[in-house]
A and B are shown apart, each in its own frame.
Chain A
């Protein structure tokens, strides 16, 4: 599947710096239409207002984590098929397994580079 670079992308992270970094990397990859949220519940609120083509989320946030967001997204019929990439410092095998079980499309461990993000987005849309 060809990647639609005009699609809205939602970046979810509780650190404004990380949002800024991912937003810049996405811009370099050709994605200009980027929104952000600082936790899972804020992300869900945005997703109810706008249909996103991709969600890139951190795991460890308060009050709603990225893991809970992922489960909510997959449990909600209108978002259930939205591509979801986890970008997190949580690097235990149990985290990756839990995320896969919950329906994550791919998983990136922080710190990461632009090439990894690019490859993961391409992999998700090629599937």
Chain B
């Protein structure tokens, strides 16, 4: 540490070196060099930023176009409610037909067969009602066809959107309700009806599954 009275401008030999004041020309020259250098840097920076901003703008415009092509409002407000209504109508018509058929069967089973002519007339009448009730299958098939069409419409748009934005799936449920529902289904082993074939994990029972289950109870 220097002694308190030592000169900070003194060299190691103790000699004082006097600073030379820069001339105005030196300052101007330095300023010109600095400005030229910073201008070149700014131009480089500007062109990079502008290019990146342009790329981002192009990407945003493309994403916006893809979002528009999704027709999310049409899907949410028109197509999904319409598909839901079609499925509700299928359920209603199926239920109505089943109830009609059951009622006919119950009437035939409860009928008094002691008078053959009367019994036959009743059976004929109930069979006719069963045939009529089975006509629901035609309209139900058409309604289900419309729902399948809606699903294909949504699938095509979502697939196009996912490809355009190179979407990466985030695994897991989308919200708490979905999470709770999935957890309940897992905890209570709720899977719903299975297709005839085995699941990809091979864990479900194949065709003739009742026979397989029976073996588990032997």
Contacts and interface: CB of A to CB of B under 8 A. Distances in A.
Interface of A: 17, 20-21, 24, 28, 59-60, 65, 67-68, 89-98, 100, 106-110, 112, 116, 123
A89 B193 contact: yes
Contacts of B189: 59, 67, 90, 92, 94-95, 98
Given A92-B204, A92-B205, A100 B216 contact: yes
Interface of B: 95, 98-99, 102, 105-106, 109, 188-194, 199, 203-205, 209-210, 213, 216-217
A67 B188 contact: yes
B213 A96 contact: yes
Given A107-B217, A109-B209, A116-B210, A89 B192 contact: yes
A74 to B, nearest CB: 16
A59 B191 CA distance: 10
Given A91-B205, A93-B205, A107-B213, A17 B192 contact: no
- For the complex of A and B, the 6 pairs showing the least CB-CB separation, nearest first, are A89-B193, A92-B204, A91-B194, A95-B189, A17-B98, A65-B188
Q: Which of B95, B98, B210, B216 is the most central at the interface, judged by chain A CB atoms within 10 Å of its CB? A: B210
Given A89-B192, A91-B204, A123 B99 contact: no
Nearest to B193: A89
Nearest to A64: B188
B204 A17 contact: no
A17 B102 contact: yes
A30 to B, nearest CB: 13
B191 A21 contact: no
Given A65-B188, A67-B188, A92-B194, A24 B204 contact: no
Nearest to B217: A106
Contacts of A108: 210, 213
Contact of B209 (A60, A91, A94, A98): A91
